[in-house]
Chain A
């Protein structure tokens, strides 16, 4: 079939699409796509199917909770989503890039640029103060620290007056807020959180969740959180239930 090419019209469309692309994040789309992901540990009788042929899609800008009993493979899944581990087979596609097609150093760089991590036990570096802990991910890639942005994030999380303080003097909630600030500083597309409120009392946990949700909606990020707390999964837009390495329910 002959295609009549109207060059002018296509140029206009070209411009339109380019402009559309600039306004990224203004519309909903799939940001993370998991295709037939497999990760087994051990062998023979000790074989653990941590992630067993799992496929799922995460929408941009949504809050997805991954729920399941301990040992159901949800942490392994989160680690695979974030490129912290390598799967036995299957693909993880983040922003249309298959992250496991990358070599290790490229993967690490991609991870630092696109993904923010928040862990249950905060993982702050004890010898650095709060400011240094927060801007550390930028330093690892030799990226410039935009002071105003960092200050804005700290202010948002109520840490402006704690910049020079060492982590061991902080409370659990403050430590987790620091970890959130550290995850936000690189302005990642996806934030992966592994039971961020697990070590906090319910009120502090609620507050951390409130802040996390607020930040994520302000900065337009996609939040994926592991939790076995049914209270927290109420706040999620999508809840994915994992059992024995498989998605059993999505609601």
Chain B
């Protein structure tokens, strides 16, 4: 701030100097013109009245001096005017221009002093203000440390009362923004904590059921006097529960990976057909068990910038849902279509469908629809959340659409 104020003063000084020089120059030019005119008139007068010459020469001894210096001309005029009543132009010192010049000069001097005084005063004031602002900043930062992320009312009134420079306003705005950011962060942390709690409750609940069932089966299998067939049945049941637990744990690992931002996508331009085929093969076994036909019509392969491993994951999650929530002997169709600027993948099923009130919740973490919970008891509700996150990180979108009769269409876009 000091520097700019000093700069200003220097600028004003320079301005004043330039204008003073111009003013003085113009005055000198005027004076010279006046002088020349007077000299000419004296010469003319002497030519007309040669008798006067003697008086003037007497006064100055040498005639040449008549046309000499300023003072001489002045004196000559004086003599002529007194003796002959002849009126010359007024001398330059008597001319109004001289007084105007003086007036302007003094005015500019006063103006300069005033400006410098104001600048100095402002400088002093701004130094005080800066001190106050720094103190305010210190106090606000202390408040930040305490976890209060809003500017105090005193600070706000200080900001409002004083006219701040853009730079300071910028800093204060940033401080406010930082406060908002911390507040949001706090809220986000709270939300995350809540959802982690929900996750833990969910996990423990999900694991409890198969564990209890496993426990029971194990006890039964251990009992004496069982036939081989009976024992085998219990053992199979045990195996089933173990598989269920494994699957659950796998899902949970994926969620925790996603939550910890451990997923990094390696985008590569490659054919989408292989990716879709990989996804289909992941759910193929499950579909076959339920005699669900997966029809994928991909007549043409399209090269799309995507991460194969995770896109496969995203697609197979959607297909897995389609298989899970469909009746036996139904069909899941996959269409691929190139639009002007993106690739559209449609996954269509004939399943239970999604009630319209649930549509915009299905991509949320841990969300499970009411009907979905009834139909399939195990599952944590992360599949579609995972799919959406993966696709959006690649610049794509996903949405679900209710079919008029039965089932759902998932529309997935990926940039070409």
- Contacts from A to B (Cβ < 8 Å): 3-7, 10, 13-14, 17-18, 20-21, 24, 27-30, 59, 96, 157-158, 173, 202-203, 206-207, 209-211, 213-214, 217, 230-236, 239, 251
How far, in Å, is B381 (CB) from chain A's closest CB? 15
Docked Cα-Cα span, A249 to B397, in Å, equals: 24
Closest to B361 in A: A251
How far, in Å, is B73 (CB) from chain A's closest CB? 61
Interface stretch of the complex, out of B246-254, B313-321, B337-345: B337-345
Q: Is B174 an interface residue (CB 8 A)?
A: yes
Docked Cα-Cα span, A211 to B344, in Å, equals: 13
Contact A18 B174 (CB under 8 A): yes
Partner of B344, one of A206, A213, A234: A206
Contact A20 B178 (CB under 8 A): yes
Q: Is B139 an interface residue (CB 8 A)?
A: yes
B139: chain A residues within 8 A (beta carbon): 3
Closest to A97 in B: B173
Q: A207-B339, A213-B397 are in contact. Are A234 and B413 (CB under 8 A)?
A: no
Q: Is B203 an interface residue (CB 8 A)?
A: no
Contact B184 A30 (CB under 8 A): yes
Partner of B360, one of A4, A7, A210, A239: A239
Docked Cα-Cα span, A27 to B411, in Å, equals: 30
Contact B171 A231 (CB under 8 A): no
Contact B342 A211 (CB under 8 A): yes
Partner of A206, one of B137, B173, B413, B415: B413
B340: chain A residues within 8 A (beta carbon): 158, 173, 207
| Majority SS at the chain A contact face | helix
Docked Cα-Cα span, A204 to B211, in Å, equals: 49
Known: A4-B138, A234-B400. 18 other contacts (CB 8 A): A5-B131, A7-B134, A13-B141, A20-B174, A21-B170, A29-B180, A30-B180, A59-B184, A96-B173, A202-B401, A203-B339, A203-B344, A207-B340, A207-B344, A211-B341, A232-B399, A233-B360, A251-B361
Q: Is B181 an interface residue (CB 8 A)?
A: yes
Docked Cα-Cα span, A173 to B131, in Å, equals: 58
Contact A210 B184 (CB under 8 A): no
Contact A29 B360 (CB under 8 A): no
Contact B415 A235 (CB under 8 A): no
Number of interface residues of B (CB under 8 A): 41
Docked Cα-Cα span, A17 to B177, in Å, equals: 10
Q: A28-B181, A29-B177, A235-B397 are in contact. Are A14 and B360 (CB under 8 A)?
A: no
Interface string of B332-363 (1 = CB under 8 A from A): 00000001111010000000000010011111
Interface residues of B in 11-25 (CB under 8 A from A): none
Contact A18 B170 (CB under 8 A): yes
Closest to A158 in B: B341
Contact B399 A235 (CB under 8 A): yes
Closest to A22 in B: B174
Docked Cα-Cα span, A239 to B178, in Å, equals: 26
Contact A10 B134 (CB under 8 A): yes
A10: chain B residues within 8 A (beta carbon): 134, 137-138
Closest to A232 in B: B399
Partner of B341, one of A6, A202, A210, A234: A210
Q: Is B135 an interface residue (CB 8 A)?
A: yes
How far, in Å, is A101 (CB) from chain B's closest CB? 13
B415: chain A residues within 8 A (beta carbon): 210, 214
How far, in Å, is A98 (CB) from chain B's closest CB? 13
Q: Is B395 an interface residue (CB 8 A)?
A: yes
Docked Cα-Cα span, A211 to B400, in Å, equals: 18
Partner of A214, one of B339, B395, B399, B411: B395
Partner of B342, one of A207, A233, A236: A207
Q: Is B369 an interface residue (CB 8 A)?
A: no
